[in-house]
Structure 1
Amino acid sequence: MDILIVKLSSLGDVVHAMPALQDLRAARPDARIDWVVERAFAPLVRRCEGVNRVIELQMRRWRKAPLAPVTRQEWRAFRQELQAHPYDAVLDLQGLTKSALVAHTSRLAAGGRRFALANRTDGSSYEAPTRWVADVAVRVPARSHAVQRSRELCAAALGYELPPVLHYGLRAEPQRDPADARPCIAFVHGTSRDDKCWPQDHWIDLGRRLVGEGFSIGLPHGSEAERQRSEAMAAAIGPHAHVWPRLDLGALADRLAACAGVVGVDSGLSHIAVALALPHVQIYNFDTAWRTGPDVPGVPPGRQRSVYGSPCPSPAAVWDAWRAVSPR
């Protein structure tokens, strides 16, 4: 059976779709599964067990200049690659116009069908074209975790029961920072929305507490503003805090996998930490952990925890959560 997964972006959403693919593999061991994704996230998807072929696109860039010659040329090349193989099932796990376009552009095998969400779920984006393009629209509970939403769509589309245990299937080869003589805790302080950030002085407070417990602090960054914040935090925490170099997603997953744990805001890197089953505390300024947090049906509780506070959790609350999940 040949299956195409359409989940284009963003980083957290891509990670949240990985368990659905692992369910598919368990239910259909003979399945050949391809995945369409934005080029920036392709290195991570290639590390997901069971992905046969990663088909890259650059929809975000193309939309900025849809009529440019380079855009038309790249779209034709993408369409040619996408249609090189027919699929028995095309699964639109995104629920947006852009994913509906990709699903519609794909080629079906004889008797093949396109599946998509029939409804919006609470707190998530949804656009009607995904339902119009689908041969079968699958209704899922309105209050669904992002991971569970994709799992339920795939199970309903292909007619199998959800496994009781959830797996992400994300492979990593731990690469320790040579500057770290101590076990490292990564601080994922960057996020796409400023209102999800945790105050810098709170990070410094937590970092000093962790250094006092014998840890070092690793500070990844994905933008110039995040790099500057990482450097300011490292200077304030002291010599056991290190700013990581800019890494692609594959190398970043390897660096995270070598850490003793992760503390992070609601962001893609935090969701990678969840997928790698690291001790992890996820910080929420809004009561939305039920939708994107580490407490996912099928995952045994204990090593990962979310902390919510308004306007934000205190350093003491995050520290207590860390002590609850840390193996030390």
Structure 2
Amino acid sequence: MKILLVRLSSFGDVVFTLPLAKALRGEGDRLAWAVEGPLAELVAGAPYVDEVLVATTRAWRKRPLSAGTRGELRAFLSSLGAFEPDVVVDAQGLLKSAWITLAARARRKVGFGFRTATERVNALVTGERVDVPAGTHVVDRGLALAEHVLGRRGFPRIPDVSHLVARPAPEVDDWLAARSARPFALLQPFSSRRTKEWSAEETAAFCRALAEHGLEPIVRWGPGERERAQLIVAGSGGAASLAPASPPAASARLAAHAALFVGADTGPTHLAAAAGTPTIALYGPTDPARFGPVGPRVRILRDGSGAYNAGVPGLPGLTFNAVLDASLALLGERVVAP
């Protein structure tokens, strides 16, 4: 059977869709995944993904009439036609994924029903529709589609990111090779919105306290975040240092070597949890019951102040002492080099 999986974005949701991809692809099957270009590195190389169809829909929407967009669209549709799927599974549930599902020539087209699709128009292009209760975790929403397609249950929920952990990442590998044997904690305080981020002051205080317990705090940063990360390092009084520059997908390889990961609601936190690293996830406006990280050693702390509802940044209800206590409890009060 040839399966086309449509899940274009976002970072965290693509990670949450990995269990669906693995569940769908049985022995002798072929699975192609349609995904946004910047996120293709998350699925490329996975042993359960045979082809990656890059759809740069965001860029196409910005330049719908340009020659470049027309050429890329033709190339994408050509690849889509060449794959000739038997089944299309639209796990996105949006208008931007609906046109791909519509364009694919497949005997079966499976997606979310009118009650479940994020944009109801998406349900118009599928012939088989699946509804799930409101508040269902993104991973379980996806696996409900697999249950419908395959007629069975019991699929693993933890995203398989072994291909990312195993993938060489020169920046990360060189940094690890130059380190001492001292165990480190990887911190990811930044996210897509300031209301989802932990304050720099509390993060710096946490770094100082963590260092007293034998862990070296390492602050991870992405595009446009280096200066903010440097402020945290400076505020830690020398307890923390910067992580190496690396693409987002490489954070799985980096996190796999960490004794602890502490992060906001963002893609690298989900990768760390899936990689099996003990993970403390700091949540505010997003519901962890729907969007919390999935992994074997995860604890979620949510800001109970509700300040984020008023647009207050920094998760003020989460003190460094509360996060430290949760971290030490997760580690069993001991720090062991990974």
TM-score by length of 1: 0.89
- Whether 1:41 aligns to 2:39 is yes
Deviations, residues 151-183 of structure 1 (Å, cap 9, x unaligned): 1122112312233x4342212138463453221
Could you say if the C-alpha distance between residues 319 and 51 of structure 1 is closer, same or farther in structure 2, counting changes exceeding 3 Å? same
Distance 2:251 2:288 in 1: 24
- Is residue 318 of structure 1 aligned with residue 316 of structure 2? no
Distance 1:287 1:99, change over 3 A: closer
* Matching residue within 46, 56, 65 for 1:67: 65
The CA distance in 2 between the partners of 1:80 and 1:179, in whole Å, is 46
Equivalence for 1:22: 22
DSSP 3-state at the match of 2:203: helix
Tell me the residue number matched to 1:254.
253
Q: Deviations over 1:167-209 (max 9, x none)?
A: 4221213846345322121111121112111111010011111
Structure 2: tracts of 5 or more residues without a match = 308-314
Q: Which amino acid aligns with 1:132?
A: L
What SS class does the counterpart of residue 168 from structure 1 fall into? coil
Q: Percent identity?
A: 35
| Pairwise CA distance, 1:65 | 1.2
1:191–1:197 CA contact under 8 A, matched in 2: yes
2:113 paired residue number: 118
Give the SS at the match of 1:130: helix
Kept after mapping to 1: 8 A contact 2:204/2:236: yes
Residues in 1 aligned to 2:245 and 2:67: alpha-carbon distance in whole angstroms: 31
Partner of 2:130: 138
Q: Residue type of the partner of 2:143?
A: R
- Structure 2 SS opposite 1:259: coil
SS in 2 for 1:63: helix
Letter in 1 for 2:210: L
What's the CA shift string for 1:110-155, capped at 9, x where partnerless?
Answer: xx2111110455xxx7112210110111111222011111011221
Deviation at 1:245, TM superposition (A): 3.4
User: CA–CA distance in 1 between the matches of 2:292 and 2:229?
Assistant: 24
CA RMSD of aligned residues (A): 1.9
SS of equivalent to 2:143: helix
Structure 1 residues not aligned, in runs of 5+: none
2:290 corresponds in structure 1 to 291
Superposed counterparts of 1:185-196, under 5 Å: 185-196=185-196
Equivalent residues of 2:140, 2:157 under 8 A apart: no
**Aligned amino acid, residue 208 of structure 1:** R
Q: Is the 8 A contact 1:119 1:140 kept in 2?
A: no
Matched with 1:213 is: 213
Q: Matches of residues 82-161 of structure 1 in structure 2 within 5 Å?
A: 82-108=80-106, 112-121=107-116, 126-161=118-153
Alpha-carbon displacement from aligned partner over 1:20-44 (angstroms, at most 9, x marks no partner): 122224xx32221111111111111
**In 2: Cα distance, 1:220 partner to 1:49 partner:** 28
Cα distance in 2 between the residues matched to 1:214 and 1:120: 50
Contact 2:18–2:160 under 8 Å retained in 1: yes
What SS class does the counterpart of residue 177 from structure 1 fall into? helix
Contact persistence 1:3–1:91 (CA under 8 A) = yes
1-side partners of 2:88 and 2:112: how far apart?
A: 12
**SS of alignment partner, residue 140 of structure 1:** coil
SS in 2 for 1:142: coil
CA distance in 2, matches of 1:120, 1:66: 31
Q: Which residue of the partner structure matches residue 310 of structure 2?
A: none
CA distance in 2, matches of 1:246, 1:64: 29
- Letter of the structure 2 residue corresponding to residue 235 of structure 1: A
Q: Give 3-state SS (helix, strand or coil) of 2:282's partner.
A: strand
Distance 1:65 1:116 in 2: 28
What's the offset of the Cα at 1:320?
A: 1.5
Q: Which amino acid aligns with 1:150?
A: G
User: Which structure carries more strand by proportion?
Assistant: 1
Contact 2:161 2:252 in 1 (8 A): no
My pick for the range that moved more, 239-248 or 83-92, is 239-248
Q: TM-score, normalised by structure 2?
A: 0.87
- The offset of 1:287, in angstroms, is 6.3
Structure 1 match to 2:30:
32
Distance 1:82 1:248 in 2: 28
Count of residue pairs the alignment pairs up: 313
1:287/1:308 contact within 8 Å kept: no
- Give 2:300's aligned residue: 306
Shift of 1:272: 0.8
SS in 2 for 1:282: strand
